[in-house]
């Protein structure tokens, strides 16, 4: 079924009011419709995320939330500032983390997790500061002595933490 047809079907469900009933009766979350709507396989990388999370002593749900916030699981995503891949690694960060091909999902997840772990160590396991540094850069967080007063960074923190909460509540 092509994307246009899926969107039409979903629009019809929404117009008919069936979707809210399905969501409530089956305890589904709206994000479960993302794969159907946008051909996004949000479980495609789960096994690798689990392996990487164990290797770096990180919660796999946090890595998955970060990927969702950064690229919506698009391994070929490129930001306007040049961040690449699933975890949106900047070219210099990718090099520093030993990532030869930032568009290779396995390398990108490995490098992104390694970078997140480095930030957590730098900021004494303060998740908020580490995530702010992932978004705005560690020097910026250090310069401001906390979360920088950037709307983009504050919105990013809310998004990642909301996704992280969603994944923790699923299991």
pLDDT digits 0-9 by tens, 62-105: 999 999 999 999 999 999 999 999 999 999 999 999 999 999 99
Structure tokens, 12: 């019809």
With respect to CATH, is domain 46-170 assigned 1.10.530.10? yes
pLDDT over 90 at 33, yes or no? no
Catalytic residue among 51, 70, 107, 151: 70
The pLDDT tens digits for 43-57 are 789 999 999 999 999
Ramachandran angles phi, psi of 112, nearest 5°: -65, -40
Q: Tell whether the model's pLDDT for residue 28 goes beyond 50.
A: no
Q: Give, for 26, the enclosing helix (H) or strand (E).
A: none
- 70 classed as catalytic: yes
The mean predicted confidence, pLDDT, of the chain is 87
Q: Are 61 and 46 in contact (CB under 8 A)?
A: no
pLDDT of residue 170: 86
Residue 153 to residue 160: CA distance in whole angstroms: 10
Contacts of 134-141 with C-beta under 8 Å, sequence gap 24+, read 134/66
Return the pLDDT at 10: 64
- The domain limits of the chain are 3-38, 46-170
DSSP state of 123: T
d(CA 41, CA 73): 8
Q: Read off the pLDDT of each residue in 14-19 and give the average, rounded to a whole number.
A: 60
- Compute the distance between CA of residue 97 and CA of residue 95 in angstroms, rounded to an integer: 5
> For residue 44, what pLDDT is reported?
86
Residue 112: per-residue pLDDT: 98
* pLDDT tier, 14 (very low <50, low <70, confident <90, very high otherwise): low
Q: Residue 27's pLDDT is what? A: 43
- The pLDDT of residue 13 is 65
- Neighbour tally for 46: CB within 10 Å: 12
Q: What is the DSSP string of 50-87?
A: HHHHHHHT--HHHHHHHHHHHHTT-TT-B-TT--BTTT
- What percent of the chain shows pLDDT beyond 90? 73
Q: Which tokens hold the place of 136?
A: 């705005």
DSSP state of 149: S
């Amino acid at each position: 079924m092509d994307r246009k047809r899926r969107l039409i079907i979903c629009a019809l469900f929404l117009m008919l009011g069936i979707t809210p009933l399905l969501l409530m009766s089956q305890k589904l979350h709206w994000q479960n419709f993302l794969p159907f709507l946008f051909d996004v396989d949000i479980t495609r990388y789960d096994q690798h995320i689990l392996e990487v999370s164990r290797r770096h002593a990180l919660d796999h749900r946090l890595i998955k939330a970060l990927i969702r916030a950064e690229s919506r699981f698009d391994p070929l995503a490129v930001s306007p500032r040049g961040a690449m891949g699933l975890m949106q690694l900047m070219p210099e960060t990718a090099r520093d983390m030993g990532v030869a091909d930032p568009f290779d999902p396995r390398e990108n997840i490995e490098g992104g997790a390694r970078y997140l772990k480095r930030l957590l160590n730098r900021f004494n396991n303060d998740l908020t500061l580490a995530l702010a540094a992932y978004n705005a850069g560690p020097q910026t967080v250090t310069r401001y002595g906390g979360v920088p007063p950037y709307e983009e960074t504050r919105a990013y923190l809310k998004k990642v933490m909301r996704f992280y909460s969603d994944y923790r509540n699923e299991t």
